[in-house]
Copies of this chain bind each other. A is one copy, B any other.
């Protein structure tokens, strides 16, 4: 689905040169929905592309962020985690594994929009909204 041609197209749409580094980093991101850190993306890429530099990973992620290709995930900890999904969605924070999972629900989004249309925050213009859900899986571990 998200093959190399698609990745090139994404870069072109963002007005970014399709360098090898950007291709592998973006490819790594599209393969990886675990909300990875810069470091873990770096390790993942190093196998295929050993000459990559950690600086380049940081630089590129920042360029991607500025062009809306990735987002930061708000975690309460020190390390920044990146999210290649820039569509509206929410997050499940797993309390016993520092995993972060995506949660999509259009009905929830409609509910929130409706709520904040009725209950305006005075003089405040909302640009984005995200629900952080903390908890744990019981009984069955979710398949990864």
Interface residues of A (CB under 8 A from B): 71-78, 80, 92, 95, 103, 105, 107-108, 111-112, 115, 119, 121, 123-140, 142
| A111 / chain B contacts, CB cutoff of 8 Å | 111, 115
| A130 / chain B contacts, CB cutoff of 8 Å | 131-132, 134
Q: Which of B112, B123, B131, B136 contacts A125 (CB 8 A)?
A: B136
**A137 to B124 Cα, complex, angstroms:** 4
A135 and B139 contact, CB distance less than 8 A: no
Q: Which of B119, B121, B126, B134 contacts A127 (CB 8 A)?
A: B134
Q: Which of B76, B95, B134, B138 contacts A129 (CB 8 A)?
A: B134
Please give me the 10 A-B residue pairs with the lowest Cβ-Cβ distance, nearest first. A72-B76, A74-B74, A126-B135, A128-B134, A127-B135, A74-B76, A130-B132, A125-B135, A123-B137, A123-B140
| A127 / chain B contacts, CB cutoff of 8 Å | 95, 134-136
